[in-house]
Structure 1
Amino acid sequence: MTRAAAAGTVNPDTQSRSANRERRMYDTPEPGSESKAVHRRDLLRWLAASPLLTAFAGCDLGLVERAMAQEAPARSLDDLVQSAEQALDVFDLERVAAQTVPTAHWGYIKTGVDGEGTQANNRASLERIYIRARRLVDVSNLDMRVSIFGREWPTPLMIAPAGSQGAFHRDGELATARAAAARNHLQTLSSVSSTGVEAVNEARGEPVWYQLYAPRHWNATVALVNRVREAGCPVIVLTVDLLGGSNRLTLERYRRIDDRNCESCHRSGGRADPVKPMYEGLPQGPPDSGGPTMTWDYVHRLRDITDQRIVVKGLVTREDAELALEHGVDGIWVSNHGGRAEGSGRATIDALPEIAETVAGEVPIIVDGGFRRGTDIFKGLARGATAVAIGRPYLWGLGAFGQAGVERVLEILIEELRITMGAVGTPSLADIGPHSIGVD
């Protein structure tokens, strides 16, 4: 089994599940049959509840109950939603994606590193934080606007970079970009995107931010940065938390149980994996990672070749935040790669306060890692983030229903944030701070 990050043939079991779901979604009842069934159920319910029923000799309540059971098919709270609009929270979409995304590709989404303690702690630490609700505050005009690099966005929710989205839905990053455009969210594109930046920008309707996995060879970096700058991307997000590699055991286990033949998608011209679109045509061929030799000097070298903003992604300590400011970065992205980078066990929400204290508003701070609800976004803002980025949740939406699924994830999270802000007496983001939360 080769890398699971590119799209492949579909597991027959997955095809069967998908086909059954599609039949349920699209089978059309005969005209009038649905309304007749509703009328029969209403009559049976009325009979069961009516005191007049006892006036009829020999009437059997059990017969009525059995008739009602036959009229309505059994339903379970675990039933999968049949459309994006039916999802009540992002976890509804996770359950659907687990059935629709090919096995090894699902392992790529799920995986952390080692025993996945870091990934688990991202969630556990968020859940230990409680919100301190204030009362009798006018929340009739909620304001979720945020300004980043002089650009105002309607909400603080961002789309984090995630690679190889064509593995989860045929439209991949284009579906995500169209959803970001429809809901007006800031989007960052991965270096290992299934689609080139030019097409993604067209789908988004404006240039996205670009995440840079720095090539080992500097001339390849220059070529890549030049391409992205010419495409109009205003920000380079230099990702620095994978320089030593990562031990993704869950991904490997899912690869082993995937019974598809992936050769057609994972081999191209004799290569183990096809070249990603953003790496095509680079000097010295497809690049390796920047590797463990990268230092803070790399930021200065980037500054010398581009006038784009530079955000460093993957910082989790006060010391590195101080160095980032010293080296003139434009923004800091607090991240442990969703628990996929290192097995430190430290949650990003716990790293955030010391970085916010160090930065003291000098540059914007973005955070990701385990954010699944509007209350989580609130907690990230309370601990000092300018914006909160999501990764896995929108991939669940993408894998479940494509663009509509991504849009639904964004809609759910913002509606949950709106409800939270109103319920706890914080009419604007400026009203959210350390005083808004506590820790058990």
Structure 2
Amino acid sequence: MSDDRDDLRSHLAGSGAPDRRAFIQFLASSPLLTSAGVSTLVGALTAGGGALAQSYDVLRAPASKVGDVIDSPEQALNVMDFEPAAKKALPPAHYGYLASGVDGDETLRANHEAFSKIRIRTRRLIDVRKIDTSITILGQTYNSPIMLAPVSSQGAFNPEAEGAVARAAKVQGHGMILSTVGSTSIEDVTKDRGAPVWYMLYPTDDWNVTEALVKRAEAAGAPAIVLTVDRQGGRNTETLFRLPRDDTRDCKMCHGGGFANEVSRKPMFDDLDVSKVNNLYGTGMTWEFVDRLRKIVKGKLVLKGIVTHEDAKESLNHGVDALIVSNHGGRAEESLEATIDALPEVVKAVDGKIPVLIDGGFRRGTDVLKGLALGASAVCIGRPYCWGLAAFGQPGVEAVLKIMQREFETIMRQVGAVKISEITSEDVTRG
């Protein structure tokens, strides 16, 4: 093996820049890429001097031709590569559901564009060879601060739905939140995840149904009930309404009118009497509803959709255990307020008394670091992992998580943080 390393160094260190095609052919035939793997190659490139330390980066990209849309998870260089693949794989109406914001989708775009106004301060001469990205939140420990946000009806993206997502989350130890109107039951998701998952509650306007959903989730081991509070004003999802015009299928075959038909394929409503339910989102909820829910939730109670300091402070008065700063991925209201911009005032308002999570527009590992630096205990992603699910099933979700985790670990090292607690507001500035 030492001879192979010498050959590789000689090949790269020869006079002039090495021909790229010849270099790739050399690598393809090298035993360094078989039994020893890429890690051995990295060692070969970096041993005996540092001049070649970055040369292995070329191996991140496949040598084969890649078209405008990736054909496999391995071809993706970032999570955005999965969106065109998802669009290609999905019927127009289903892609429209995933892609839609509200009105002109401006808040959806603002969620991500706001990250470009936050700069990262990098530090030097810190030993960051070993880092720890684990977090403990509400008594649960995860290997990464990147959690999977609740997304409804994942069976519209892939037949294995939330089951595939749960298995992918298990591989790397990510936390997961299941939606009330997911395509998979909490019992099955918990089994696939191999650990309890949080349960996001759409309460409906029938307290008996609300109570039954909470009891079932907690019986399945859910350590947290996450009440969504950002869907009470209604919404205008224009992209969702527009794209079905290009869909040749008859949507009425699956989507009938009325609440009972809406949830007939949602397993969390199996065996429940929904005859008195008119609204899934609990229109009319007030802080008194939170108090009533607090009395029946045995575990942790989380509010998802808080974006102001007023509501954050009020949450403390009602026994809430954590908050998620969220505008429903830009599909709650067309406020133009990015969640990353709302985060600091919410964090300041709770003053460390309870954890604050955030979702909305996270696409890069650098975004994750910015969220943590501004006070979030964890960040949640939604669309990216659903793109991976739609395009390639479980392997697609795994790839999305690996890419974001890899990017996060890279920027974490570059700011000189070896554990999550070392990421602070000093690591970022605003442009």
Amino acid paired to 2:75: Q
- Residue 347 in structure 1 maps to residue 338 in structure 2: yes
Distance 1:205 1:273 in 2: 29
Q: TM-score under structure 1 normalisation?
A: 0.80
Asked if 1 retains the 8 angstrom alpha-carbon contact of 2:66 and 2:75, the reply is no
Matched residue SS, 2:212: helix
1:281 corresponds to which residue? Answer: 271
Distance 1:343 1:355 in 2: 20
Distance 2:128 2:310 in 1: 39
1:149 corresponds to which residue? Answer: 138
- Residue 264 in structure 1 maps to residue 253 in structure 2: yes
- Residue 323 in structure 1 maps to residue 314 in structure 2: yes
1:362 corresponds to which residue? Answer: 353
Distance 2:106 2:398 in 1: 30
1:95 corresponds to which residue? Answer: 84
Amino acid paired to 2:200: Q
Asked if 2 retains the 8 angstrom alpha-carbon contact of 1:266 and 1:274, the reply is no
Amino acid paired to 1:277: P
Query: Alignment identity in percent?
Result: 48
2:190 corresponds to which residue? Answer: 201
Question: 1:308-340 CA distances to partner (integer Å, 9 max, x unpaired)?
Answer: 210000000000000001111000000000000
The 1:383/1:263 distance shift into structure 2, 3 A limit, reads same
Aligned residues: 372
Question: 1:258-309 CA distances to partner (integer Å, 9 max, x unpaired)?
Answer: 1112343334999754512212332343732344311111121112112121
Matched residue SS, 1:339: coil
Distance 1:326 1:260 in 2: 49
Distance 2:188 2:402 in 1: 24
Asked if 2 retains the 8 angstrom alpha-carbon contact of 1:107 and 1:251, the reply is yes
Match of 1:402 among 393, 396, 410: 393
1:16 corresponds to which residue? Answer: none
Amino acid paired to 2:357: I
The 1:273/1:221 distance shift into structure 2, 3 A limit, reads closer
Distance 2:85 2:173 in 1: 25
The 1:271/1:301 distance shift into structure 2, 3 A limit, reads closer
2:31 corresponds to which residue? Answer: none
Match of 1:228 among 217, 225, 230: 217
1:421 corresponds to which residue? Answer: 412
Match of 1:129 among 82, 107, 118: 118
Question: Which structure 2 segments of 5+ residues have no match?
Answer: 1-20, 26-63
- Residue 247 in structure 1 maps to residue 200 in structure 2: no
Matched residue SS, 1:237: strand
Question: 1:76-116 CA distances to partner (integer Å, 9 max, x unpaired)?
Answer: 76532221122111011112111001110000010000111
Asked if 1 retains the 8 angstrom alpha-carbon contact of 2:294 and 2:319, the reply is no
1:85 corresponds to which residue? Answer: 74
Matched residue SS, 1:189: strand
Question: 1:26-74 CA distances to partner (integer Å, 9 max, x unpaired)?
Answer: xxxxxxxxxxxx99x98xxxxxxxxxxxxxxxxxxxxxxxxxxxxxxxx
Question: 1:200-256 CA distances to partner (integer Å, 9 max, x unpaired)?
Answer: 111111221100011101111111111111111111000000011211000000112
Q: Which moved more, 1:275-284 or 1:135-144?
A: 275-284
Distance 2:69 2:94 in 1: 20
Question: 1:370-422 CA distances to partner (integer Å, 9 max, x unpaired)?
Answer: 00000000000011000000000000000010000001001000000001111
- Residue 309 in structure 1 maps to residue 272 in structure 2: no
2:3 corresponds to which residue? Answer: none
Matched residue SS, 1:337: coil
Match of 2:168 among 176, 179, 192: 179
Question: Which structure 1 segments of 5+ residues have no match?
Answer: 1-37, 43-74
Amino acid paired to 2:324: W
Distance 1:305 1:179 in 2: 32
Off by >4 Å, runs of 4+ in structure 1 = 75-78, 267-272
Matched residue SS, 2:177: strand
Distance 1:155 1:86 in 2: 23
